[in-house]
Chains A and B, each alone.
Chain A
Amino acid sequence: MRIILAIIAALLAAPAIAPPAIAASPSFEVVQRGQALAIAGDCVACHTVPGGTPFAGGRAIETPFGNVLTPNLTPDRETGIGDWSDEVFLRAMQTGIGHDGEHLYPAFPYPYYTHVGREDLLAIRSWLATLEPVRNVVARNEAVRNQLSFPFDIRLSMAAWNALFFENGLFRPMPSKSAEWNRGAYLVEGLGHCGACHTPKNSLGGDRTSATLQGGAIQDWFAPALGSDLRTGLGGWSVDDVVEYLRAGRNAKSAASGPMGEVVSYSTSHMPLADLQAIAVYLKDQPAVPRDAIPPLPASDAGMQAGRAIYLDNCAACHTATGAGIPRLFPTLSGSAVVQSPDPVTLARVVLIGAQAVATAEAPTGPAMPAFGWKLSDAQTASVLTYIRNAWGNVAPAVDAGTVASTRRHLAQRAGN
């Protein structure tokens, strides 16, 4: 009825013009909000093939059980989500059930999106509907299958997975906390799906909910803990440090690269400052992980001595002899959570194959760490990693050559893919 009235109103106002279909369209404000929320959700990162049309899907998302191809989110009716009703869209986002009632794989972070409110999800849907429809056959075509191992190749197995690990439910604010804190929690636990990387996974790929945001291994990176632990979490960062990192891709201590670089590039560097501030406030209120205190390796340790020599020859020019680095250019190694993380895979990969900090409009430099894998052996790499993990007040278990060798192998396999 309302639609008919709107059409009549439009006809009265501009009788020469055919009734505009936008009469039933969401307001400009809703579409804009949807875009902002889609940015907060970083949808584009997964739903775009590198260099391809944004949101047209087809990117292979790596999971420990095989690759999952992302669907086309443009409003193409045949190959995208153009023929989805709002209710189908909501069901997918909140419960992981696809258009035809099939189970979606939780590489799609519906266990997080289930916490997002209906209005916000529909705003995202409204914005997606404004994109140019792109014909791109992914997943819904039988010829392009997800590349998963048994039993995960059977979608119905996700029903069992859901029964085990999926907890449906909207975000519930904590009345004892500030509005800012709650906004941060809503973003981190919902659209931001930070835990997808930063929460450790069990053997079936479900979140270890007892260890939320305590750091997780993903695609030969280790996403550090986001709790207040001084050595391995965000304990050494201020709220401003966190905000600057998310906004610019770097702060005085560290720089984002790899998967986090993508998050900054596509998502957080475009988010409103108030939201970043809220995220920082929430993260800074996360508890520290209780860990066994271990003593640092003594400087007299043979591995430490070898590592120090390698460090001074190869690393000190940028990271400086004291591990202080150059603020906002070359990361600080002393006190760094990446350096002291229990899992040294990020460190090993960065030394072996290098890395480049994300470049943003605010921090366009995008400095790079060179690869040393061609000149340092596994043992030398292990020594230098052991050194930086135990120098300048750092404390972390030694790295052995076997761990480096295994990372090297994985990286070579990945490069061969």
Chain B
Amino acid sequence: MARKLPGVDAVIVGLGWTGAILAERLTAAGLKVVAIERGPWRDTATDFPPSYAPDELRYAIRQDLFLRPAQETVTFRNKTSETALPIRSFGSFLPGNGVGGAGTHWNGQTWRFLEKDFVVKSHVTERYGKSAIPEGMTIQDWGVTYADLEKSYDSFEWTAGVSGRAGNIAGTRQQGGNPFEGPRSRDFPLPPLELSHASSLFAKAARELGHSPFPCPAANASRAYTNPLGVTLGPCTYCGFCERFGCGNYSKGSPQTTILPVLMRRPNFEARTNAEVLKVLTDRSGTRATGVTYVDAQGEELEQPAELVLLCAYQFCNVRLMLLSGIGTPYDPAAGTGVVGRNYCYQTGAGAQLFFENTRMNPFIGSGALQQVIDDFNGDNFDHTGLGFIGGGSISCGQTNGRPILYRPTEPGSPRWGSAWKQATVAGYQNAASVGSQGSSYAYRDSYLDLDPTYTDRFGRPLLRMTFDWHDNEHKAAAYATQRCMEIGRAMGAKQVLARNLSEHYSIVPYQSTHTVGGAAMGADPKTSAVKRYLQSWDVPNVFAVGAHAFPQNHGYNPTGTVGALAYWAAEAITSQYLKSPGALVPT
């Protein structure tokens, strides 16, 4: 029996980007807020001193900051007819753990989705007809528009200290920015990062091919910056230790470097770390949450009553918690009914590996979002007539890192060991570059999440089961993107241009992307979405679930900019609407 604690106004599950944003907004509104975080406390000063933060073995290989499968994992299978087995070593994706969550170890690529991404189903149907959407594909509109979210995107970018160049300010095209982006209310808080050699070659080639290159929006501060909360970031040193690392130079926008210094000073906020939430509790009617139960670091089970429950954990952790707590109807793939677990999506990778001759890429000069990008083949920025697929991706070239253990590109045919391999890595280090496409991953009826019938976690709760594979549309889209990447690679003057195609079947073994999304989509229709346009549960209105689980499908960008925007969007709805009149924000 859980020991019951005094009640609070809001309990937050998970203290990453969304948890920190909501906690900051809600404590500013005067609420007493407790955040419960499964992992440890993590702070720049104590955990990421630059005297040892750039430790590739510890952080990139041994994955110091990531979730341990012994704490929580998922079982996986490609299709319903297979038996899912638990992931015992994370590979394809690396969920974060601890204060800051994935916001600690991300690269900082901070995108806004395209205007048409938010209405993808309506738009594709209107432009290409209903038949353009393949049988079994379950893409849908978001229930919010780009215009709805613009202010929230802006809040996130100015909090995180994003460096970039606007392409569209209030409808006016801006030279050097992304011509396809939706209108911004103002420019980025910081100018773009400098170019790496590879990205300058890319930008020149792309321009020659008639495309429109622009700098990737980067939560890697190009200058010192003090955000609206008064927290200061230092300029990025291009050390190349972003993804999988905490930033010791106070340069990468993260909860630690932008929000927590203010949040932790507030007397109406408390963070409880090394404490895992077991379940959201509901009253007898099942329509009102009463709080959560959790197990603390000492192993004691506690009940934290709260007026509001905010699910801010990693994407699949939120979906699982909803399933374990009976919040929303579980998805049934056979009947095509239910919503929790529906529309699980990923990210479609494709590209080209390039090798030049006698050049100096100097990849040790790197930063998480140090790249040039074209959006000419993203979303529906190009005519899909006759292509046989819908969707697309951003195409980029840059230098996130040149770290000594994992960054060892060698030309095909090079020996795999010995002194000849060493020579090949020396040459490859300076001569290699890659052009990559980060593509949309659209939703299908047979790609979903549910509770595993066999495997349980250390508390005896069923693990989440992931059923996912690539579909024909994504294969075609990836093949198209690969061709575009190779064209650019050749125009860059590479001696060798090697295709990097999508694998035939999705595999959870090699690292691809931590952009797992969907499973509890937001939307306007309770039959196809688990949460309303304000991220509020349709069934339990004092539960809000905020994160990438709410994406109805994935688009051709990194998700964090949109995740951050959704957090500000939900916070605004809670503080300006819900608190004044607690209840359903959208009638059911």
Q: Closest approach, in angstroms, between the C-beta of B26 and any C-beta of chain A? A: 18
CA distance A281 to B253 in the complex (A): 39
Q: Which residues of A contact B52 (CB under 8 A)?
A: 370
Q: How far is the CB of B104 from chain A (nearest CB, A)?
A: 16
Contact A328 B49 (CB under 8 A): no
Would you call A327 and B261 a contact (CB within 8 A)? no
Q: Using known A-B contacts A318-B249, A368-B44, A372-B51, determine if residue A328 contacts B226 with beta carbons closer than 8 Å.
A: yes
Please state if B51 and A367 are interface contacts (CB–CB under 8 Å). Answer: no
Q: Cβ of A359 and Cβ of B261 under 8 Å apart?
A: yes
Residues of A within 8 A of B46 (CB): 368
A326-B235, A368-B44, A368-B45 known; A361 vs B51 contact (CB < 8 Å)? no
**Distance between Cα atoms of A326 and B235 in the complex (Å):** 8
**Beta-carbon contacts of A321-347 to B below 8 Å, as 1s and 0s?**
000001111100000000000000000
- Tell me whether B50 is interfacial, beta carbon within 8 Å: yes
Against B, the Cβ 8 Å flags (1 = close, 0 = not) of A353-365 are 0101001011111
Q: Indicate which residue in B44, B51, B234, B239 contacts A326 across the interface (CB closer than 8 Å).
A: B234
Tell me which of B232, B237, B239 contacts A365 (CB under 8 A). B232
Task: Choose among B51, B224, B265 the residue that contacts A327 (Cβ–Cβ < 8 A).
Answer: B224
Residues of chain B lying within 8 A (CB to CB) of residue A368: 44-46, 49
A82–B51 CA distance with the chains assembled, in angstroms: 50
Q: B233 — which chain A residues lie within 8 A by C-beta?
A: 329
* Contact bitstring B249-260, A, C-beta under 8 A = 1, else 0: 110000000000
Q: Quick check: B50 and A370 within 8 Å, CB to CB? A: yes
Instruction: Kindly supply a per-residue 1/0 record for chain B positions 218-246, scoring 1 wherever the CB is within 8 Å of any chain A CB and 0 otherwise.
Output: 00000010100111111101010000000
**Interface pair A329/B250, CB less than 8 Å apart:** yes
Q: Determine if B261 and A365 form an interchain contact, defined as CB atoms under 8 angstroms apart.
A: yes
Residues of B within 8 A of A374 (CB): 51
Q: Does A371 contact B (CB under 8 A)?
A: yes
A375: interface (CB < 8 Å): yes
Residues on B with beta carbons closer than 8 Å to the beta carbon of A361? 265
Q: In the bound complex, do residue A363 and residue B232 qualify as a contact, i.e. CB atoms below 8 Å apart?
A: yes
Instruction: State A362–B45 Cα separation when bound (angstroms).
Output: 19
Q: Quick one: CB contact mask for A11-25 with B, threshold 8 Å, 1 for yes?
A: 000000000000000
A299 at the interface (CB under 8 A from B): no
The answer to whether the Cβ of A296 comes within 8 Å of any Cβ in the partner chain is: no
A362 touches B226 (CB 8 A): no
Most chain A CB atoms below 10 A, which of B45, B46, B229, B231: B45
Inter-subunit contact A329/B234 (CB<8 Å): yes
How many angstroms between the C-alpha atoms of A368 and B229 in the bound complex? Answer: 19
A-side contacts of B248, CB under 8 Å: 370
Cβ contacts under 8 Å, B237 to chain A: 317
Q: How far is the CA of A364 from the CA of B232 in the complex (A)?
A: 8
Q: Does B420 contact A (CB under 8 A)?
A: no
Q: Nearest Cβ in chain A — how far from B241, in angstroms?
A: 11
Let me know if A314 is at the binding interface, CB within 8 A. yes
Complex contact A364–B229 (CB within 8 A):
yes
Residues in B whose Cβ lies below 8 Å from that of A314: 51
B262 contacts partner chain A, Cβ-Cβ < 8 Å = yes
Complex Cα spacing A327 to B249, Å = 14
Nearest B residue to A327 via CB reads B224
Q: In the complex the two chains form, what is the Cα distance from A370 to B50 in whole Å? A: 7
B261 close to A366 (CB less than 8 A): yes
Query: In the complex, which residues of chain B have a beta carbon less than 8 angstroms from the beta carbon of A362?
Result: 230
Give A327 to B233 CA distance when docked, in angstroms.
Answer: 11
Q: Is the CB of B49 within 8 A of A371?
A: yes
- Interface centre among A314, A328, A366, by most chain B C-beta atoms within 10 angstroms, is A366
| Nearest CB on A from B24, distance (A) | 12
Interface string of B24-61 (1 = CB under 8 A from A): 00000000000000000000111001111000000000
Residues of B within 8 A of A326 (CB): 224, 234-235
Interface string of B141-174 (1 = CB under 8 A from A): 0000000000000000000000000000000000
Contact pick for B239, options A317, A356, A367, A372, CB 8 Å: A317
- State whether A317 touches B265 (Cβ < 8 A): no
Contacts of A375 in B (CB 8 A): 51
Closest to A362 in B: B230
Does the CB pair B265–A364 fall under 8 Å? yes
Q: Which residues of A contact B230 (CB under 8 A)?
A: 362-365
Bound-complex Cα distance A177 to B448 (A): 79
Among the listed A327, A363, A366, which residue makes an inter-chain contact with B45, where contact means beta carbons less than 8 Å apart? A366
Contact with A along B429-466 (1 / 0, CB 8 A): 00000000000000000000000000000000000000
**Shortest distance from the beta carbon of B239 to any chain A beta carbon, whole Å:** 7
B44 touches A364 (CB 8 A): no
Cβ–Cβ < 8 Å partners of B232 in chain A:
328-329, 363, 365, 367
Nearest-CB distance from B235 to chain A (Å)? Answer: 7
Among A327, A330, A365, the one with the most B-chain Cβ atoms within 10 Å of its Cβ is A365
Q: Which of B264-281 contact A (CB under 8 A)?
A: 265
Per the bound structure, the CA–CA distance linking A7 and B249 in Å amounts to 65
Closest CB in chain B relative to A304 CB, distance in Å = 22
**In the complex with contacts A318-B249, A359-B261, A367-B250, A330-B45 CB distance below 8 A:** no
Contact B265 A367 (CB under 8 A): no
What chain A residues lie within 8 Å of B45 (beta carbons)?
Answer: 356, 366-368
Contact A364 B249 (CB under 8 A): no
Q: With A and B bound together, what is the CA distance between A16 and B232 in angstroms?
A: 58
In angstroms, how far is the closest chain A Cβ from the Cβ of B84?
44
Whether the Cβ atoms of A330 and B234 lie closer than 8 Å is yes
B231 engages A365 (CB within 8 Å): yes
* Chain A residue at minimal CB-CB distance from B235: A326
Cβ–Cβ contact B231 & A370, under 8 A: no
Query: Which B residues touch A359, using CB under 8 A?
Result: 261, 265
Give the residue name and chain of the A residue nearest to B261 (CB). A364
A317 / chain B contacts, CB cutoff of 8 Å: 50, 237, 239, 249
User: A366 to B49, alpha carbons, bound, how many Å?
Assistant: 13
> Contact between A354 and B235 (Cβ–Cβ < 8 Å)?
no
B230's nearest neighbour on chain A, judged by CB, is: A364
Contact call A364/B226, Cβ cutoff below 8 A: no
- Which residues of chain B from 58 to 88 have any CB-CB distance to chain A below 8 Å in the complex? none
Decide: A364 and B231 in contact? CB cutoff 8 A.
yes
Nearest CB on A from B240, distance (A)? 12
Chain A nearest CB, measured from B45 CB (Å):
3
Considering the chains assembled together, what is the distance between the CA atoms of A361 and B263 in angstroms? 11
Distance between Cα atoms of A346 and B52 in the complex (Å) = 22
What residue of chain A has the Cβ atom nearest to residue B226's Cβ?
A: A328
Q: Which residues of chain A have C-beta atoms less than 8 A from B250's C-beta?
A: 329, 365, 367
Chain A nearest CB, measured from B553 CB (Å) = 38
CB distance from A179 to the nearest CB of B (A): 33
Which residue of the partner chain B has the closest CB to A369?
Answer: B49
B261–A370 touching, CB < 8 Å? no
Segment 352-403 of A: residues with Cβ below 8 Å from B: 354, 356, 359, 361-368, 370-372, 374-375
Closest residue of chain B to A356 (Cβ to Cβ) is B45
Most chain A CB inside 10 Å of its own CB: which residue of B51, B52, B248: B51
Are A370 and B51 CB-contacts (below 8 A) given A317-B239, A364-B265? yes
B466, chain A: closest CB distance, angstroms: 39
Residues in B whose Cβ lies below 8 Å from that of A366? 45, 261
> In the complex, what's the smallest C-beta–C-beta distance from B267 to chain A, in angstroms?
12
Chain B residues whose CB sits within 8 angstroms of the CB of A363 once the complex forms = 230, 232
- Once bound together, how far apart are the Cα atoms of A371 and B51, in whole Å? 7
Assess A364 versus B51: contact at CB under 8 Å? Given A317-B237, A326-B234. no
Q: Which residues of A contact B (CB under 8 A)?
A: 314, 317-318, 326-330, 354, 356, 359, 361-368, 370-372, 374-375
Which chain B residues have a beta carbon within 8 Å of chain A's beta carbons?
Answer: 44-46, 49-52, 224, 226, 229-235, 237, 239, 248-250, 261-262, 265
13 cross-chain CB contacts under 8 A: A317-B50, A317-B239, A317-B249, A329-B233, A356-B45, A361-B265, A364-B262, A365-B232, A367-B234, A368-B45, A370-B51, A371-B49, A375-B51
Q: Which 10 A-B pairs have the closest CB atoms?
A: A370-B49, A368-B45, A370-B51, A364-B261, A317-B237, A365-B232, A326-B224, A329-B232, A326-B234, A364-B262
Taking A314-B51, A367-B44, A370-B248 as known contacts, 14 extra A-B pairs with beta carbons closer than 8 A to each other, sorted by chain A number, are: A317-B237, A327-B224, A328-B224, A354-B49, A361-B265, A364-B230, A364-B231, A365-B232, A365-B261, A366-B45, A370-B49, A370-B51, A370-B52, A371-B51
